């Protein structure tokens, strides 16, 4: 039996949080970056790794001297995927290290992780994906995952190294903490979680968990083979938007229509063009138009959209359907819809 040892909180020396990327990635802690397959989590993590290796700024919170990175991946090829992406990001690849797993695979509790961090004085360790580094432990078991995550967190804290663990989301839906694959203990052990998803042609990272500071604003980014990686700054989006992009498009379509028609009729092609810029499909835009009671009319050769007026009218819409309605009765519903979005 272990000898009882105790201490008081008076003996604890309080320390401020140190950041790799404030408030998204703390030093000495575990951060999870998660998404549905192919939604951009590895792209985001490689961009962070390149910025650390180059000593470059990340949006809103990182500026430092160049530092070493350890990047362990079992999902993407080093020669045909990871290295080419890092080169397109302009990363100093001499500062990005990989532990050789050819003779023995790594696990989250492997001593070589800490040995590599100490040897290179790495400021960032990336594990991609977590399920490839469990050493046979059951990912869905608290008994299996709790000691592994505790060991990884202790390594991070002892060495002041930020650790990013990449994971996939399950398809069950529900709250974000229950959408990560495996035991809830994985999510619980992380001090910060970034959930990545597609919004049109852009990806957005939402700060879905933050234990050490108020959550950061959602950050947009994209990667084009011809134009490279681009940060798109803060975005007005939330977890529900990421997990149900169709609903998000509908809400944005309603907001767009209400804003554009606030001062009267507008050419329909201009509204459609504005919707296209915001990544709203024509089908979703037309559905929102019907929900709001917006009607179409023609002046000369030009179609217009407008909100209903206090009158009974019959209109032949662009879809060829006759519509007859009392606009006065619809106005409360429109007002409620506006307030809801």
CATH number, position 218: 3.40.50.300
Q: Assess if residue 119 is contained within a domain.
A: yes
pLDDT category of residue 228 using cuts at 50, 70 and 90: confident
Digit-coded pLDDT (tens) for 297-307: 999 999 999 98
230 torsion bin: left (phi>0), alpha (psi -120 to 50), beta (else): beta
Whether residues 50 and 197 fall in one domain: yes
Whether residues 67 and 189 share a domain: the answer is yes
Q: Is the pLDDT of residue 314 over 60?
A: no
Distance in angstroms (rounded) separating the CA atoms of residues 105 and 64 = 32
Averaged pLDDT for residues 179-204? 82
pLDDT-derived band of residue 192, with 50, 70 and 90 as boundaries? very high
pLDDT attached to residue 321: 44
- Report yes or no: 93 and 135 within 8 Å, Cβ to Cβ: no
**Same-domain check for residues 93 and 233:** yes
- Look up the domain containing 278 and give its range: 245-340
Total domains, the chain: 2
d(CA 117, CA 242): 34
- 250, 310: one domain: yes
Q: DSSP 3-state assignment of 210?
A: strand
Examine the pLDDT at 167 and tell me if it is beyond 60.
yes
Q: Does any domain span residue 2? A: no
* Cβ neighbours, 10 Å, residue 22: 16
Q: At which of 243, 269, 297 does a domain end?
A: 243
Are 176 and 86 part of one and the same domain? yes
Residue 1 burial (C-beta neighbours within 10 Å; 0-12, 13-18, 19+): exposed
Place of tokens 């070493």: 68
pTM exceeds cut of 0.75: no
Of 181, 166, 162, residue with least CA distance to 130? 166
The label of the residue with tokens 């009267």 reads 264
Cβ atoms of 56 and 96 closer than 8 Å: no
Q: What does the mean pLDDT of the chain come to?
A: 83
């Amino acid at each position: 039996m272990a000898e009882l040892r105790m201490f008081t909180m008076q003996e604890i020396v309080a320390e401020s949080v140190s950041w790799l990327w404030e408030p998204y990635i703390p030093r000495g802690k575990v951060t999870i970056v998660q998404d549905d397959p192919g939604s951009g989590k590895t792209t985001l993590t490689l961009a962070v790794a390149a910025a650390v290796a180059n000593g470059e700024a990340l949006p809103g919170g990182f500026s430092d001297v160049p530092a070493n990175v350890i990047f362990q991946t079992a999902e993407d090829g080093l020669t045909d995927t990871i290295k080419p992406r890092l080169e397109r990001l302009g990363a100093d690849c001499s500062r990005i290290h990989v532990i050789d797993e050819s003779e023995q695979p790594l696990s989250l509790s492997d001593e070589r992780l800490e040995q590599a961090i100490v040897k290179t004085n790495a400021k960032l360790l990336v594990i991609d994906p977590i399920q490839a580094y469990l050493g046979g432990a059951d990912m869905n078991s608290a008994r299996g995952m709790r000691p592994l995550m505790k060991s990884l967190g202790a390594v991070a804290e002892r060495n002041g190294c930020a650790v990013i663990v990449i994971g996939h989301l399950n398809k069950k839906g529900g709250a974000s903490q229950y959408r990560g694959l495996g035991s809830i203990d994985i999510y619980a052990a992380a001090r910060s979680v970034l959930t990545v998803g597609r919004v049109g042609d852009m990806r957005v990272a939402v700060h879905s968990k933050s234990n050490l500071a108020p959550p950061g604003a959602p950050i947009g980014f994209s990667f084009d083979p011809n134009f490279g990686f681009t940060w798109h700054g803060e975005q007005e989006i939330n977890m529900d938007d990421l997990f149900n992009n169709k609903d998000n498009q509908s809400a944005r379509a309603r907001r767009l229509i209400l804003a554009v028609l606030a001062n009267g009729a507008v050419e329909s092609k201009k509204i459609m063009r504005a919707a296209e810029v915001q990544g709203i499909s024509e089908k979703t835009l037309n559905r929102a138009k019907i929900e709001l009671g917006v009607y179409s009319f023609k002046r000369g050769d030009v179609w217009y959209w407008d909100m209903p007026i206090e009158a009974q009218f019959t209109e032949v819409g662009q879809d060829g359907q006759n519509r007859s309605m009392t606009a006065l009765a619809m106005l409360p519903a429109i007002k409620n819809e506006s307030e809801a979005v």
